Structure 1
Amino acid sequence: MDGFLKVTNPDLTSSPSNSFIADEVASICPLITPSPPTNDLINPLPESNEPNYQIGEDLATILQQHVQDEDKCAGDSASSSSSALAEPSCTQLLNHRNSTYHHIAKDENTANEETAGKVQPLQLTFRNPPENYFFMSWNWPLIRKVSLGMFLSGLVAMVALVIMMISTLPKTCDPYTEWYQGKVFYEIFPASFYASDRNHMYGDFKGIALKSGYLKSLGVRAIRLNSIFQTPNYPDDYKNVTNLLEIAPQLGTIEDFDKMVTEYLKPKNISLILDLPVFPVLRQLNRRRIEANSTNQEPAVEFLKQEPDLMEQVLLHWTRHGVEGFYLKGLEHFIDDPHLGAALRRWKNILGPDRPLIISEGLINAAPKNTINLILNSVDLVDVRLEIEKGLSAVTKQIESVQNGTLFSRRGLPWVHWSLGDESLPTRLANLLPYGNATLGATLLQLMLPGTPCIFYGNEIGLQQISDPEGDRTDQKHLHHFTFMAWEERKPSQVLPWMHGERAVSDFGQAKSVADMVELRAKSPAIFYNSIFKEGESKANSEVIFSRENLLVIQRWYPRRKSYVVVSNLGNATITQDLSTLLYSGIVIIGPRTDSKSGSISFKDLSLWPGEAVVIELM
């Protein structure tokens, strides 16, 4: 201890800051005791009156006692050389490999007041050199490359995800409709559509399958087959149906039916709807029951109660063979049956929401008030025949009556199923309208109405019915409107062996204009949608804005979409009319003739020939 603390010149003047250590020692240990400034040699500090300690065993004893006291108070371990003792937790957190040195108090007054002459510990921390940290040995160039790759990959993935989400968004924000709402149907009498056999005796299921491409090009969403059931002398007595499960053998087998549906219609997104003549079948069953038990006759209004399982069996049978909807014909004969509403609800539950039920307008008009709501809630489409042959006044009243009637009074009600002719009408549309090219104008008007239009086969080409100039086969007059479909442009249709008469003519070029109108309808909510629901009220998005002098103008609109009008001449003479007070200008989309081209039009001087109609997009 004496060797370490020995002072060679005890007479050296000391200062309060270096009372125990010589100047030479202080100068080389700046961290322990600062050296005096240079001018101290010239202007020395005044001598202290405090006594100097003699270096020796007394000082060593004091220092040793100081260290022991510090260990007891702070619990620290000071190591002057290689010894390592436990350190306080705070010191351990800050210092890993520390060297502890002791520094003597600056002056004796401070020492006496604070530590009673004991030395103060001074801890100095020497950090590890950078190369000793574990992360310094990592491959940082590789880490940077990998990080950059992961960032770019994540960026590309996010961009791809956004692109995918955008690509899956619908191209247009059209209002939602069921598949049968607003679409175009096509009614076919199978025996007169197309014959697949070489003898061309009867049209059949195979013939419909072969012409499914034509139906697709026309844009129809569903076909309605009527009169496919077996009768004693089909098709002459096509209405004399006694069984709704057996197919007329002249049309093919049930395997032909299934193949037509699964291999030809469904791949083209064409659904099949079947007409069911309910009344003739139930009436025949009731007659048999009465004959079997003549002493216990029941009124006809009890048909639906007596045969609850028959219709369920029929519906389930045909849905298993791919039928996606039914037109229940003849239900107006059961209007007084108290079980009618319950029967319709039960049949609808069997079919589910995706298979529509169609009924006639006559049933709605005649239904009692206590069952009308039940009937409306159980069906999906109501067939309304547009009586265009009655002229402007009758057509205008009919359209306005339907649009302002029950079917448009609130949301969720059945849509209108518009038709211009069907198998029950004994005369074809081309023969009802006494002027050329009228079927195209009537069809354009039909396709502009709110609801689901249905085209009777041949109307799109102006097909006329078979004529019998001699009138010697009145027994076949009920078949004359079942003209065989013309499949070659500008050529008369073929006459089938089971039908007497002359060949009928048609204009096959009209089919292109009808197909264009069907396409326009499919992409325009203003046309295919049937009503607007606003502020709790439902209103048809269609309005008759002009009806005078055999000229009918109907406007269709939808919020924030293009509006359209159809202008139809329902008279027998050419009409020129100034509509500029109602409409400003527009672009001709379709019509009035098959050779008409699109172009701007002014409503100042609009001219149409008899039977013509033109569809215009408003500007």
Structure 2
Amino acid sequence: MNLAPSPSMLAAGLPGPMGADRCDDEEVASICPLLTPSPSSGFDHPLAIISQAAGGMSYGQKISPTSIDNMEIPTLAALSGNAALGYVGLTAARSEHSQGNTEGEPRLSDAGSSVVGSSSSSSSALHEPTACAQLLGARHYQHLATGAHGDAFACQENGGKPALAARRAPGEYCFLAWNWPLIRKASFWGCVSLLVACTCVVIAVMASLPGECSPPRRWWQGSLFYEIFPGSFQDSNADTIGDFQGIRSRVQYLKSLGVRAVRLNSIFPAADHYPEGYDTPRTLSGIERALGTERDFEALVGTLHRHNISVVLDLPLHPHFHRLRADDEGERGIAVSSSENATDDDNFTGSSPSSLLIPPLVQVQEQESVVKTLEYWLRRDVDGFYLKGLENFTEEPDFPAELRRWRRILDGSGREKILMCSVHVVDVLAKSGDAVGLRSVLGTIDLVDVLIELAAGNGTARGVKQQVNDVMSGPLYSEPVHPWVHWRVGGEGVQRLSSRLPTANGSLAALLLFSLLPGTPSVFYGDEIGLMDSSDPEGDRSDMGHLYHLAPMHWTQPGPDVGFTRHGILPWLPRSESWSYIGAGRQSALRDVARLRQSTPCIFMDGVWKEHRSVPNYELRNVGRDLLVLERWYPRRNSYVVVANLGPAVRQCDLSSRYYGGEVVADLQGRVGRYVTFKSLRLFPGEAVVVKLDK
């Protein structure tokens, strides 16, 4: 159905003498689609037909009256549909023009009235040929996209807006062919798997978190060391001498004490008979046959490692290299120093032979170089070395360089290894002013061995306090990266601890006290059970009197064999007359302290880093002549106090001015877990108690 446009609409859309009502071409182009009904898909514009009839006039050319007059207009019958309507309009315009308009322009009869045409609205709109040509010019339809079949008016249904791109067939979109059910399932289970994995990671992280926040430390820092003379610990083959298999059979005992490292004294082939000549080894790259074979040694190391116990060897650099050098000089008639007969006590007394007789550090003979010795034992999985007698080599010009070379060999072994030496090395270098040598020792050594000398008599407590304070105020504690102190009160070169104290069980009290010092404590085998020197009243072994402190270990109550070897066989040294604590389980106090060292920073740490320097976290006080009080602390932790009576009489003290009370964590009287106060503390001879103070 075709509607005739109103005159106002026509007047706004046609150029002419309408004055201010005339619109420009752009407005005409936007209104013209509204004046024309939507053509069919097969619509051919009449002007296009006229253009073809006129001999090629384009649709976009401007139509003038003259050109229309000269046109050959097709008959009405030749046109159909809307084309005929347009033709009628053109005919009417031509007839009006032919009648001769004196003004030369088409004129509307009444601008304010409706223009009514008998044919259609399009005939009225085309009364002015020039205007219609402009309205229907191609340049006014440049914003319309051509249809799929070249139809210029295919987009008029969009209200004059640009047409959208041509639609694509559904088959041209690849995602329509995807397996969407499978994609949804894979996405769902992928999300579920991701959530489960995240949950497992969170649980694993939470499970791996430590139970408490403790400062990091290495395996040799603050752990309990246990020193063993292999020939006197346990005999497994009834040859009267202890061996590697015997030590291996007692690993559970070592583990029950909380031992973290075993230090083996000389295990090398002796120049004379073993064990009497243990201090004069023939070579440092071999094993004494009386102790076992290399396979036995490797089996012992493997067993200890499986129980998380490390192995440290004593390397007697002196007098071994001193003896080799003396033999070499003897061939040229050079006198040998009288110190050739010195024992390992030189390590603790500080005595040393003449520097002219000290052998080179690198080698005396190529096969006996220190480097080759270290490599030999590292291949057998040893965890560290005690360089005994190192203080006798500090005057060598290559001392710092060789020490650093040994350190590199240990660091290149793939596992964390340690080097130990005596505190006399530090003392000698400090007194001589050798800053280079001192720095090399402090930078390469891990543990510095310190022997606390305990002697019976008045002033024991005061003497111990002075020795400890001298070490703590020395160069070892000036920096946190310096070596830790390896504390001990006994060893293979000194008299038995129980033989030096006035009471038999004083050794265990001393061990409890010194096990709480800042650093790494050490126990000489048998001190935890109060083992004394060998007893030889008849003088059957008087030629070995200098070895009486190496008495066989007591594993049972006093008897003929004390559990050291098979029944009816006498050990290589007379047994000790001391009563063993093992039967009563008294050594459990040492086990409690060892466990405390593994979990409590107050005990195992050697100081507190404060104001860019290391501050010792201990205080040692003596009360009277025989009572010693040691306090340990650490930031945000409970403090611990150990009180030991090293005298021969019962002591009662009042420490309430400093401490109120706390829980007993280690004791010799079975009071572990009980709460005690310090108002009136009573201690028997050789008794010690460890208390965790209230916060």
- Report the CA distance between 1:285 and its aligned residue: 1.1
Number of the residue aligned with 1:113: none
Would the aligned equivalents of 2:322 and 2:358 in 1 still touch at CA under 8 Å? no
Paired amino acid for 1:473:
R
- Report the CA distance between 1:362 and its aligned residue: 2.0
Cα distance in structure 1, aligned partners of 2:606 and 2:222: 7
- Report the CA distance between 1:497 and its aligned residue: 3.7
CA distance 1:529–1:295, shift in 2 (3 Å): closer
Number of the residue aligned with 2:492: 423
Q: Say which of 278, 282, 288 aligns to 2:321.
A: 282
- The reply on whether 1:611 has 2:683 as its aligned counterpart is no
Cα distance in structure 2, aligned partners of 1:122 and 1:376: 90
Number of the residue aligned with 2:443: 377
CA distance 1:149–1:346, shift in 2 (3 Å): closer
- Report the CA distance between 1:540 and its aligned residue: 1.3
CA distance 1:242–1:85, shift in 2 (3 Å): same
Aligned counterparts, 1:242-253, within 5 A: 242-253=282-293
- The reply on whether 1:590 has 2:666 as its aligned counterpart is yes
Cα distance in structure 2, aligned partners of 1:302 and 1:235: 25
Cα distance in structure 1, aligned partners of 2:141 and 2:512: 107
TM-score normalised by structure 1 residue count: 0.80
Number of the residue aligned with 1:357: 419
Select the structure of larger CA radius of gyration.
2
Aligned counterparts, 1:454-465, within 5 A: 454-465=522-533
CA distance 1:267–1:484, shift in 2 (3 Å): same
Identical residues among aligned pairs (%): 37
- Report the CA distance between 1:16 and its aligned residue: 4.4
What are the superposed Cα offsets for residues 569-600 of structure 1, whole Å, 9 maximum, x if unpaired? 1222212211111112211000133x333211
Cα distance in structure 2, aligned partners of 1:6 and 1:223: 115
- Report the CA distance between 1:207 and its aligned residue: 1.1
Aligned counterparts, 1:62-81, within 5 A: 65=133, 68-77=136-145
Paired amino acid for 2:666:
I
Aligned counterparts, 1:17-32, within 5 A: none
- Report the CA distance between 1:77 and its aligned residue: 4.5
Cα distance in structure 2, aligned partners of 1:171 and 1:369: 47
Aligned counterparts, 1:448-597, within 5 A: 448-488=516-556, 492=562, 494=564, 496-500=570-574, 504-508=578-582, 509-545=585-621, 547-593=623-669, 595-597=670-672
Paired amino acid for 1:349:
R
Aligned counterparts, 1:245-324, within 5 A: 245-262=285-302, 264-294=303-333, 299-301=356-358, 303-304=360-361, 307=364, 310-324=369-383
- Report the CA distance between 1:217 and its aligned residue: 2.0
CA distance 1:6–1:164, shift in 2 (3 Å): closer
Cα distance in structure 1, aligned partners of 2:257 and 2:665: 17
Q: Say which of 180, 191, 203 aligns to 1:151.
A: 191
Cα distance in structure 2, aligned partners of 1:161 and 1:74: 65
- Report the CA distance between 1:277 and its aligned residue: 1.3
CA distance 1:440–1:85, shift in 2 (3 Å): farther
SS in 1 for 2:417: coil
Cα distance in structure 1, aligned partners of 2:196 and 2:406: 54
What are the superposed Cα offsets for residues 236-290 of structure 1, whole Å, 9 maximum, x if unpaired? 222222321232211111121112112x111112111111111121121112211
Cα distance in structure 2, aligned partners of 1:223 and 1:18: 116
More displaced 10-residue stretch of structure 1: 51-60 or 368-377: 51-60
Q: Say which of 392, 398, 403 aligns to 2:467.
A: 398
SS in 2 for 1:616: strand
Which stretches in structure 2 are left out of the alignment for 5+ residues? 13-33, 39-109, 337-354
SS in 2 for 1:304: coil
Paired amino acid for 2:483:
P
SS in 2 for 1:407: helix
- Report the CA distance between 1:546 and its aligned residue: 5.1
Would the aligned equivalents of 1:493 and 1:503 in 2 still touch at CA under 8 Å? no
Cα distance in structure 1, aligned partners of 2:618 and 2:327: 49
SS in 1 for 2:370: helix
Cα distance in structure 2, aligned partners of 1:192 and 1:258: 20
More displaced 10-residue stretch of structure 1: 569-578 or 345-354: 345-354
- Report the CA distance between 1:84 and its aligned residue: 4.5
- Report the CA distance between 1:519 and its aligned residue: 0.8
- Report the CA distance between 1:154 and its aligned residue: 2.6
Paired amino acid for 2:242:
G
- Report the CA distance between 1:189 and its aligned residue: 0.7
Cα distance in structure 2, aligned partners of 1:19 and 1:102: 25
More displaced 10-residue stretch of structure 1: 467-476 or 596-605: 467-476
- Report the CA distance between 1:235 and its aligned residue: 0.8
CA distance 1:500–1:156, shift in 2 (3 Å): closer
SS in 1 for 2:156: strand
Count of paired positions = 558
Q: Say which of 230, 233, 240 aligns to 2:280.
A: 240
Paired amino acid for 2:300:
M
Number of the residue aligned with 2:62: none
Number of the residue aligned with 1:366: 428
CA distance 1:85–1:164, shift in 2 (3 Å): farther
SS in 1 for 2:137: helix
Cα distance in structure 1, aligned partners of 2:291 and 2:308: 23
Number of the residue aligned with 1:205: 244
Cα distance in structure 2, aligned partners of 1:474 and 1:402: 37
TM-score normalised by structure 2 residue count: 0.72
SS in 1 for 2:324: helix
SS in 1 for 2:259: coil
More displaced 10-residue stretch of structure 1: 502-511 or 410-419: 502-511
Cα distance in structure 1, aligned partners of 2:637 and 2:616: 16
CA distance 1:123–1:373, shift in 2 (3 Å): closer
What are the superposed Cα offsets for residues 307-328 of structure 1, whole Å, 9 maximum, x if unpaired? 3851111111111112111111
CA distance 1:288–1:542, shift in 2 (3 Å): same
Number of the residue aligned with 2:405: 346
Paired amino acid for 2:417:
R
CA distance 1:558–1:133, shift in 2 (3 Å): farther
Cα distance in structure 1, aligned partners of 2:680 and 2:234: 44
SS in 1 for 2:377: helix
SS in 2 for 1:463: coil
Cα distance in structure 2, aligned partners of 1:48 and 1:334: 130
Paired amino acid for 1:553:
V
